[in-house]
Amino acid sequence: MSETATGNGSGLFLYDDHEKAGSIFTRSREVFDYFYKLKPFKSIYAELQTEYPKEIYDIHTIDLEGNSLDHTFSHAISVADGQQVEEIRQFMLSTHPGTNPRWIDVALRNGDRCVAVRLGAEIAGAGWLSLVNGIGRLHSLFVKPRFRKIGVGLDILFARLLWLKSKHARMALSEISVNNLQSSRISARGGMSVSGHVYQYFRTDLGKSRG
């Protein structure tokens, strides 16, 4: 965490050494530049836009209090429990290479939920959600290629939104790359709309840290 000369917080940098990824929270360009050079990384998320190499993510949001979330499910939905941790871990490692394998256990213990659709004996698709102070976040949705275009992703989206609504969440958000047209279409069909942007910065100098 960074502080001003008067002791007030000016920025926060969260970093995972295994994934070489993190997030920078600040409105100060000076603080951003300091954190940007602090660690070797593959990707860093931040709301501050700079000239560094990056990919733009749209922030999709939905008001859950004023939305009935009408949806007819095409597939059975399950919510992962403690007995499925290893299976979920293997799914995440195969669909999100580089993921810290410890993340799954920690996320589930901290109250995150993993919603999945099974077809036959395997997980066809899964998506995660978290809930903090009435705000839900949807992330890490992945449907295996051979199970796409049959409604799996849309079912997982609505299952997560309905779960959040049942927990009295006021709204939900999801960050989706502007290049991910399929996920953006699913989000729109679920009633979500773009309300802002976040940026994923890339750097490949994974040798010694600088700064």
**Higher-scoring residue by pLDDT: 191, 208:** 191
pLDDT tens sequence across 34-49: 999 999 999 999 999 9
CA dihedral 198, 177, 172, 86 (to 10 degrees): -110
pLDDT tens sequence across 72-110: 999 999 998 877 889 999 999 999 888 888 888 889 889
Q: Which sequence spans correspond to the domains of the chain?
A: 2-57, 61-196
pLDDT tens sequence across 53-70: 999 999 999 999 989 999
pLDDT tens sequence across 168-207: 999 999 999 999 999 999 999 999 999 999 999 997 555 4
Q: Are 131 and 110 in contact (CB under 8 A)?
A: no
SS (H, E, C) the chain: CEECCCCCEEEEEEEECCCCEEEEECCCHHHHHHHHCCCCCCEEEECCCCCCCEEEEEEEEEECCCCCCCCCCCCCEEECCHHHHHHHHHHHHHHCCCCCCHHHHHHHHCCCEEEEEEECCEEEEEEEEEEECCEEEEEEEEECHHHCCCCHHHHHHHHHHHHHHHCCCCEEEEEEECCCHHHHHHHHHCCCEEEEEEEEEECCCCCCCCC
- Residue 26 C-alpha from the chain's centroid: 19
Q: Are 116 and 80 in contact (CB under 8 A)?
A: yes
pLDDT exceeds 70 at position 210? no
pLDDT exceeds 50 at position 155? yes
The closest alpha carbon to 42, from 17, 61, 66, belongs to: 17
Q: How far apart are CA 38 and CA 23, in angstroms?
A: 12
pTM: 0.86
Query: What integer best gives the mean pLDDT of the chain?
Result: 92
Residue 113: which region, alpha, beta or left (left: phi > 0; alpha: psi -120 to 50)?
A: beta
pLDDT tens sequence across 135-152: 999 999 999 999 999 999
Residue 166 CB neighbours (<10 A) = 9
Q: Quick one: pLDDT at residue 148?
A: 94
Beta-bridged to residue 175, according to DSSP, are 59
Q: Quick one: pLDDT at residue 132?
A: 95
Residue 3 CB neighbours (<10 A) = 11
Architecture of domain 61-196: 3-Layer(aba) Sandwich (3.40)
Q: Quick one: pLDDT at residue 205?
A: 56
Q: Quick one: pLDDT at residue 83?
A: 77
Q: Quick one: pLDDT at residue 211?
A: 36
Q: Quick one: pLDDT at residue 204?
A: 57
